[in-house]
Chains A and B, each alone.
Chain A
């Protein structure tokens, strides 16, 4: 028996990559537990990362439980879709339905996805060849700009990107960092006068019939024009139908709570299990994280630019800041914009219109994911 040779004692097989990843796993868990940064995700991801990097543990090796979860939940794209049912059941689209024009802000804010995709491809196989980024990798990196974990997982897995783990971790990390990334950009683009602009209140509520028809119509419109987005938009809107139809309260509650919690645990620990040191610690991984900031920033810039245009066209009835909420990242960016509005004018409550643009961004980011899945194979 070769004990000292490392077949028995794990630490004898500890290379620098595994050691570094164990430290990173500790940081992720610390961020989640001590700093309360996306704890629901970072704690399972940190735990999975720790398990995957224990030498000879075999958790992430073929046949290990993390590898089995990866095959069953990530490669089949089941986990992100199940999460989307839960997300759909949690989202109230009423603020969006009160101001349906905010869907255009959601559309504009998806420019971050495509701008980052273009930049990543130029750095990779497209022109400079500095990094190992294929067209599929670049598209998967760009999708970080959807500010939406399940969409990022779905697209990067479907396109078989080498950087799925880094992309998913970046997507979830930057969602938590929206309150840090967005305010300086918004303040640089909008004067105090613009930030203080109040928006008219929309009186009355949306009828139950509209709320029930909305998810069905959205699936039909998006699915028939952009079929690759059907699984994502279908699951999101199915969850919302459970919520709004009023006939299946128990299913709605289960989707919002038990199901989404179970899948989040499994998804988190599986994503963490994909962070094996030898695969994760590459220069490209760092660039993926840098690109994530670029994507979120471009999203914000594009959304605010259209917000400014709509502000002018509407006779200053629309606060341009709500364009930043088209980024998705629900509900963080709506809270950011509401806070900035209150800072500029203590009576300026923008939460509802911002939440409308935010939920519109959720739909737009799913469509953007479907568009990427449609176009990239055509041009690859």
Chain B
């Protein structure tokens, strides 16, 4: 049972880590090649 618990904890941690890195890279990339007219409006 402990091995399954490890799979759950490590699994979620790895998913957040991988996608967190992807988020950082994409945010950086978006700033790098952002179109000039892009801005956020309410």
A residues bordering B, Cβ < 8 Å? Answer: 97, 100-101, 103-104, 106-107, 110-111, 113-115, 117-118, 121-122, 126-127, 135, 138-139, 200-207, 209-210, 213-214, 217-218, 221-222, 225-226, 360, 363-364, 367-368, 371-372, 374-376, 379-380
Contact = CB atoms under 8 A, between A and B. Distances in A.
Contacts of A207: 33-35
Contact of B7 (A107, A117, A217): A117
B30 to A, nearest CB: 6
Contacts of B6: 375, 379
Given A100-B23, A126-B1, A374-B14, 14 more contacts: A100-B26, A113-B11, A114-B11, A135-B7, A203-B37, A203-B38, A203-B39, A203-B40, A207-B34, A225-B21, A367-B15, A375-B6, A375-B11, A379-B7
A221 B38 contact: no
A213 B41 contact: no
Contacts of B22: 103, 217-218, 221-222, 363
A109 B40 CA distance: 27
Given A118-B4, A371-B14, A203 B35 contact: no
- Interface of chain A: mostly helix, strand, loop or mixed: helix
Given A121-B1, A126-B4, A364-B19, A100 B30 contact: yes
Contacts of B33: 207, 209-210, 213
Contacts of B35: 204-207
B40 A200 contact: yes
A201 B25 contact: no
A106 B19 contact: yes
A213 B26 CA distance: 9
Nearest to B42: A200
A110 B7 CA distance: 13
Contacts of B25: 217, 221
Contacts of B5: 118
B1 A114 contact: no
A214 B39 contact: no
A213 to B, nearest CB: 6
A222 B8 CA distance: 19
Given A135-B3, A217-B25, A379-B3, A115 B15 contact: no
Contacts of A221: 18, 21-22, 25
A222 B22 CA distance: 8
B13 to A, nearest CB: 9
B12 A367 contact: no
A110 B15 contact: yes
A217 B12 contact: no
A115 B11 CA distance: 11
A372 B4 CA distance: 11
B15 A364 contact: yes
8 contacts: A104-B23, A121-B1, A121-B4, A126-B4, A135-B3, A200-B40, A207-B35, A226-B18
Contacts of A103: 19, 22-23, 26
Contact of B18 (A101, A217, A222): A222
Contact of B40 (A113, A202, A376, A380): A202
Contact of B12 (A111, A135, A363): A111
A188 to B, nearest CB: 23
Contacts of A107: 12, 15-16, 19-20
Nearest to B17: A225
Contacts of B10: 371, 375
B18 to A, nearest CB: 5
B3 to A, nearest CB: 4
Contacts of A379: 3-4, 6-7
Given A201-B41, A207-B33, A213-B29, A114 B8 contact: yes
B11 A371 contact: yes
Contacts of B42: 200-201
